[in-house]
Structure 1
Amino acid sequence: MTPTSSVPRTRPDALLRLLVAGVLALALGASTLLPVAGTAAAKEAVTSSSSSYLCTGYDACARAGYGHAGYKERGGTMYWNMYSGHNCTNYVAYRMVQAGMPNVRPWSGSGNAMFWGTSNSSKTDRTPEVGAVAWFRANRSGVSGSAGHVAYVERVVSPTEIIVSEDSWGGDFHWRRYSVAAGTWPDGFVHFVDSTPALANKTVPKLGGTPQVGASLASGRGTWSNRVDGVSRQWLVDGDAVTGATAKRFTPRPRDFGKTVALQVTARKDGFEPATAVSQRSAAVKRGRFATTAPVVTGTPEVGEVLTMTPGTMTPEPGRTEVSWFADGELVEGATGPRLTVTEELQGARLVAGVDGFGKGYVPARTRSVPTEAVAAPSVEVVEPARVDGTPLLGEELAVDPGTFAPAQAEVRYRWLRDGTRIKGAREATYPVRVRDVGTWLSVEVELVRSGYRRTTQVVEVDRAVRTTPELEVVTSGRARKAVVTLALDAPGVDAPTGEALVTVGGRQVPATVVDGAARVVVEPLRAGERTVRVDFLGSELIEPTSVEVPVTVLPAR
């Protein structure tokens, strides 16, 4: 409502009109009739069933997320010479002033809501728009009273449904839903300001990072004239939107090499038109760089051997790769695969494997392995290994068969060992087993030597420790119906021979234990007469078995 010269603020018939309005409301069965002050009350009264209420009251609406744009604190001021406080016209005039219009009514004549559309016909149409004034003629059933009604369009849900904020003379502040389907659609929309107030960009968004293929760029959001509710982003390459590139970060692609990148940010705030700002264009996107790890070379760097290269990694995957081998920094011609056969020409050189990666928009990647040790000469190859022929027994001779090897012209050299220690002077292919070898393990080094080749050495072990052949002396003495047999065992290389023996006389056998080379046994009973004594030494770990037969005369019983 608005104060005018024809309609004073305090009217003498106010009470009567209030009573009449109340009686009419009760008669119509209205759920609620909003009380108003003066004659304007009857003209603005609207029932709560006329539309969908989303909230009621400044504080309750604010708690529910529906703002009042500060009108709670400023509603005591008259805007466009409308009555202050709870009043639909003063609230909407406040919103127009807040949107940038002066606090002067933009038309002459009555300010009652019913006249807003007719007095501003050039600005009034049937198109809802956020920030426009929803205008209702007088006496719209369930919507407006005799003075009409105005509300502020907060949201356009669809061409036939809107959400508004509004106040009412003598009533309260609301957010409400109006729609064609409910029969509450406004008679028009007054566009005092050309659509909703727009946000203004104060500083354009900035890009963070280096414009390079494969390197992520970060985005700012810029600053705006009002605190925004949120922003959306669109990345641009040479001014064209990149499909799907709407995140906070953007990674230039290979196809973007040489082009510029910019960011378009659209800010949004409830009650305002979205606003868009574009960052400055970046410098031209540089080539990217692959993230790499070095290849690894395995194998023995020796003439005739094969080296194998296992590639490292390159991220992202390159379009193609090239393999090279280098000898002391010089390219090995024709070596372009993961395996390299080491030739004589490479002897003495340190070898390196290289993998180069290439991809559109990327600087070529060059990776190199750790250099090998210097390539050694080839070894004399053993075709058939050497072996030792003969028995490791004192007095025997051992002989070496050197086997076969390549080149066959290699010289063979020998060196005999006793328990792993070289035997002085023992450098022949044969070796006579000596006393001091008894109880030890013999082996021989077979060395193959050839000019231009690395020598090859084999160590061939004899399959068992050296044993000795003993000398057994047997002395017998015949007695009455028995024989006394004495053994003396000498084993070269063994200081105190021990072992088991078996004495046989006339079919009787008696075991004997040799201790320190001697043993004595008595064989009885025996028949008188000439008998043969057989002594079998059974051998030991280091002593070979041996046997001796001697005669004995058994005397008759006395």
Structure 2
Amino acid sequence: MTSAPSTSRTRPDALLRLLVAGALALALGASTLLPVAGTAAAKEAVTSSSSSYLCTGYDACARAGYGHAGYKERGGTMYWNMYSGHNCTNYVAYRMVQAGMPNVRPWSGSGNAMFWGTSNASKTDRTPEVGAVAWFRAYRSGVSGSAGHVAYVERVVSPTEIIVSEDSWGGDFHWRRYSVAAGTWPDGFVHFVDSTPELANKTLPRVGGTATVGRALTSDRGSWTPRVEGAERQWLVEGRAVEGATGNRFTPRPRDVGKTITLQVTARKAGYEAATVVSQRTAAVRRGRFTTTPPVVTGTPEVGQVLTSTPGTMTPEPGSTRFSWFADGELVEGATGARLVLTEDLEGARVVAGVDGFGRGHVPARTRSVATAPVTAPSVEVVEPARVEGTPQVGEELAVDPGSFAPAQAEVRYRWLRDGARIKGVRGAAATYPVRARDVGAWLSVEVELVRAGYRPTTQLVEVERAVRATPSLEVVATGRAREAVVTLALSAPGVEVPTGQALVTIRGREVPVTVEAGVARVVVAPLKAGERVVRVDFLGSDLIAPVSVEVPVTVLPAG
């Protein structure tokens, strides 16, 4: 890069500038080894040189989000007496003036880029800072020509990598990445006015929610310029840091009741001084409320029985709890445990269990169970259950054994049922029942009720083990023939209009199955040896008819 002579002079016109660029290349130096023939050639050279270029040209860089700080409009002015236009020294001088320095070169002698570091040795070191001047000596491969090069440090990525904006004599404006690894690290950094910039807070961090014990407060980190890369949070109670409270949420503790809470945010961004701000104070922390589920009472609400209550749940865990019991809303004196024995004076009352919870920093919690049914007198206790004896078959009689019970003086009452409906015409206290034809196919049962003054009645439902079946009548006629017998069956059953089922005819070990349809069946059993034989017929029974067996004699004739 080149500068104008240290004595004041006007800017040469465009033609003179082109001539000077070629004739004085060695004397004044160029920022890059780019052709001077024109902008298009310069752009082409930059584009193809290295991926370290982030953008090229004022407009292209602006579209890509990389600014030129207004140099496009003001580059026609000479700053620090440097040649105007595309020129690394004039661009960087412009940035220094823009940063607050006067438009007077701060040293005497040549303004060529190669002399910036040596002429300002007291301000030059090896530490990159945003706003510093990246300085290169002459003939740095891929960076500077015979006059050296300077650039403006836009961002410090790391101690070994920076991003700059720069212009070049006879070239174009661009943003570029320099690094130690790529061999493009500057020879020094000139610190005229740079100091690590501070991040500016635009809006304070906001704490959301109501400051209440047990309820989480939320937060954001506020807004900053430029945009930050990270932010550290620290929650404060009465201005004091809470150990470990560095997340985006904070739940006030019981010890925080009555105190205010703030959030301290420290924002960070590479190349900037960290900045710390504190949010506005919350209102004083209020006592929290337990989250509860009510107790549940189990047991029979009956005099002499014991009711038991669960404690329910309370979140967070309370420091202590207290049980209490209420009968129709009145406190049961002395009942302070999870169990309550129901005494006679509680008969008729609805009972409720209560659990109260207490904890530091919380409003006491009061929970109540659902009320029980009214407490009743005790019921007659069944010691041994009742049972039905007998065969559920027409003509048979069923009898009830009432079992045993307490008190033993309880009266026993019976109600006989057919298919769940009370049987009319049967004495209420009858312990026996004669099975009738009308019962065929039905299920019989009996309600056994135990009654005693001062006790609640107890009723047992006792079911007969199977449906009622008819008692059949089976007639068998056997006719002997030559080496065979013809057997005819006639089956009838009271209460069954059309008897059906399976039968088995057996003669001297020979078994022949037969189906009874509409009460009759016929079967021929052969071959048989001649002689006197016994015919056994077994009706196997059905859902409606009980089994029955009949034996009759038959004479089997010889053949021929």
On whether the aligned pair clears a TM of 0.5, the verdict is yes
Structure-1 residue corresponding to 2:376? 376
Residue type at the aligned position of 1:219? S
Correspondence 1:32 to 2:33 = yes
Partner residue of 2:200?
Answer: 200
Q: Is the 8 A contact 1:295 1:369 kept in 2?
A: yes
Residue by residue over 1:402-457, the C-alpha shift from the partner in whole angstroms, topping out at 9 and shown as x without a partner, is: 43211224344566779954767946566797999998998765443333321223
Aligned in 2, Cα 1:69/1:542: closer, same or farther, shift over 3 Å? closer
Question: What is residue 452 of structure 1 aligned with on the other side?
Answer: 454
Shift of 1:166: 1.9
* Greater Rg by CA: 1
Structure 1 Cα separation of the partners of residues 321 and 171 of structure 2: 83
1:95 match: secondary structure: helix
**Matches of residues 279-318 of structure 1 in structure 2 within 5 Å?**
279-305=279-305, 307=307, 309=309, 313-315=313-315, 318=317
Does structure 2 retain, via aligned residues, the 8 Å contact 1:128–1:156? yes
Deviation at 1:206, TM superposition (A): 2.4
Q: Which amino acid aligns with 1:189?
A: V
Amino-acid identity (%) = 60
CA distance in 1, matches of 2:395, 2:280: 102
1:190 paired residue number: 191
| CA–CA separation in structure 1 for the residues paired with 2:302 and 2:266 | 67
Task: Describe the SS at the equivalent of 1:10.
Answer: coil
Once residues 207 and 392 of structure 2 are traced to their aligned partners in structure 1, the CA distance between those partners, rounded to angstroms, is 88
**Displacement of 1:379 after TM fit?**
0.4
Structure 1 CA distance, aligned partners of 2:394 and 2:378?
Answer: 40
Equivalent position amino acid for 1:455 in 2: P
Shift in alpha-carbon separation, 1:211–1:448, aligned structure 2, 3 A = same
Say whether the 8 Å CA contact 1:117–1:189 is kept in structure 2. Answer: yes
Q: Which residue pairs with 2:323 in the alignment?
A: 324
1:257-406, aligned counterparts within 5 Å? 257-267=257-267, 273-305=273-305, 307=307, 309=309, 313-315=313-315, 318=317, 322=321, 324=323, 326-328=325-327, 329=329, 330=331, 333=334, 336-337=337-338, 342-344=342-344, 346-356=346-356, 361-386=361-386, 402-406=402-406
**Counterparts in 2 of 1:150 and 1:387: CA distance versus 1, 3 Å:** closer
1:271-325 CA distances to partner (integer Å, 9 max, x unpaired)?
754533221222333333343333444443233445555665555x526674735
TM-score of the two chains, using structure 2 as the length reference: 0.63
Amino acid of the residue matched to residue 276 of structure 1?
A: T
Change (3 A) 1:385 1:114: closer
Partner SS for 2:89:
helix
Aligned position for 1:86: 86
Q: What displacement does 1:159 show? A: 4.1
2:75 corresponds in structure 1 to: 75
Of 159-168 and 2-11, more deviation after overlay is shown by 2-11
Contact 1:350-1:373 at 8 Å conserved across structures: yes
- The residue aligned with 2:150 is 150
Query: Structure 1 residues 275, 70: closer, same or farther in 2, change over 3 A?
Result: farther
Report deviation, 1:110.
5.2
- AA aligned opposite 1:368: R
- Give SS of 1:282's match: coil
- Between the aligned partners of 1:181 and 1:542, the Cα distance in structure 2 is 106
Give ranges in structure 2 of 5+ residues lacking alignment.
39-45, 472-493, 500-538, 549-560
Asked if the contact 2:201–2:223 (Cα under 8 Å) also holds between the matched residues in 1, the reply is: yes
The amino acid of 1:18's aligned partner reads G
- CA positional deviation for 1:374: 1.5
Q: What's the offset of the Cα at 1:86?
A: 1.4
Distance 1:87 1:372, change over 3 A: same
2:212 paired residue number: 212
Residues 542, 32 of structure 1: alpha-carbon distance in 2 compared, 3 angstrom cutoff:
closer
3-state SS, counterpart of residue 323 of structure 2:
strand
- Relative to structure 1, the CA distance from residue 402 to residue 82 in structure 2 (aligned partners, 3 Å threshold; closer, same or farther) is same
1:170-189 counterparts in 2 under 5 A?
170-174=170-174, 175-179=176-180, 182=183, 184-189=185-190
CA distance in 2: counterparts of 1:441 and 1:51, whole angstroms? 100
Moved more, 282-291 or 443-452: 443-452
Residues in 2 aligned to 1:270 and 1:74: alpha-carbon distance in whole angstroms: 29
Q: Helix, strand or coil: the match of 2:285?
A: coil
Match of 1:107 in 2: 106
Deviations 1:37-80 (A, max 9, x none): 9xxxxxxxxx9999994345235555666543443344334444
Q: Is the 8 A contact 1:79 1:93 kept in 2?
A: yes
For the residue of structure 2 that corresponds to 1:448, the secondary structure is strand
Find out whether 1:132 has 2:136 as its counterpart: no
CA offsets per residue over residues 485-536 of structure 1, 9 Å max, x none? xxxxxxxx99x9x9xxxxxxxxxxxxxxxxxxxxxxxxxxxxxxxxxxxxxx
The one of 9, 12, 15 aligned to 2:11: 9
Query: Which letter does structure 1 place at the counterpart of 2:352?
Result: V
Distance in 1 (alpha carbons) for counterparts of 2:10 and 2:418:
136
How far apart in 2 are the matches of 1:438 and 1:57?
107
* Map of 1:516 onto structure 2: none
Does structure 1 conserve the Cα–Cα contact (< 8 Å) formed by 2:28 and 2:147?
A: no
Where 1:367 maps in the other structure, the secondary structure is strand
Measure how far apart 1:144 and its partner are: 5.0
User: Which amino acid is the alignment partner of residue 234 of structure 2?
Assistant: W
* 1:264 partner SS: strand
Q: Compared with structure 1, are the counterparts of its residues 273 and 75 closer, same or farther at alpha carbon in structure 2 (3 Å cutoff)?
A: farther
Q: Match for 2:227: what amino acid?
A: V
C-alpha distance in structure 1 between counterparts of 2:390 and 2:184, whole Å: 123
Aligned to 2:233: 234
CA contact (8 A) 1:228 1:268 kept: no
Q: Return the letter of the residue paired with 2:53.
A: L
Secondary structure of 1:94's counterpart equals: helix
CA distance 1:399–1:14, shift in 2 (3 Å): closer
Change (3 A) 1:34 1:461: closer
Higher mean alpha-carbon deviation, 210-219 vs 76-85, is at 76-85
More deviation, 287-296/459-468: 459-468
Q: Where do residues 492-507 of structure 1 align in structure 2 (5 Å cutoff)? A: none
Counterpart position of 1:18:
22
> How far 1:210 sits from its partner (Å)?
0.7
Inter-partner Cα distance in structure 1 for 2:26 and 2:114: 22
Contact map agreement 1:204 1:277 (CA 8 A) in 2: yes
Q: Aligned with 1:151: secondary structure?
A: strand
Query: In 2, Cα distance between the equivalents of 1:31 and 1:395?
Result: 126
Give the partner amino acid of 2:350.
Answer: R
Structure 1 residue 152, shift from structure 2 partner: 1.4
CA contact (8 A) 1:237 1:256 kept: no
Cα 1:74–1:458, aligned 2, differ >3 Å: closer, same or farther?
same
Q: Which amino acid aligns with 2:11?
A: R
Conserved 8 A contact 1:2-1:89: no
Kindly indicate whether the alpha-carbon contact (under 8 Å) linking 1:233 and 1:263 is maintained by their aligned counterparts in 2. no
In 2: Cα distance, 1:66 partner to 1:192 partner: 22
Q: Measured at CA, do residues 2 and 407 of structure 1 come closer, stay the same or move farther in structure 2, by a change above 3 Å?
A: farther
